[in-house]
Amino acid sequence: MTPRTMTAAILTIAALAACAPKAKAPTAMALDCAQPFDAQVAKITGQPGLKPAPEEAGEPYRVYSTADGRASYFITKPGAPAHPAILMQEAAGGQMKNTGCAYGDKAAYQELMAYLTGLSAGRK
């Protein structure tokens, strides 16, 4: 192979690589409230690319977010009024969508959901 044909081959390979589809970031796992709390927590926290936020003193939950920041999971801590519960905030169509699973006190869960909904409203 001559230097000229080798250069042409390298340029062709580079051009094809540039046109190749980019790998998509993993999408957030949807909640499945039929699963037990501990099993669902293990699946959520085991997702590739999920990042735990620093623990905030006084907050009744831990937060884990996807690498692209489009979704966050709020997992209640033992002793929290709504524990056990998992809530999810996900960016959808320019708005935050809140979903969740209440395994414990339903009224406390509703209060926590209202609190998180208020937080997402403040981000607009």
Tens digits of residue pLDDT in 54-70: 998 888 889 999 998 89
Residue 23: the pLDDT is 47
Tens digits of residue pLDDT in 9-26: 344 454 444 554 444 555
H helices present in 20-96, as ranges: 37-45
List all residues 6 or more positions away from 121 whose beta carbon is below 8 Å from its beta carbon.
96
How far, in Å, CA of 26 to CA of 6, rounded?
37
Higher pLDDT, 5 or 74: 74
Tens digits of residue pLDDT in 19-54: 544 445 557 889 999 999 999 999 999 999 899 999
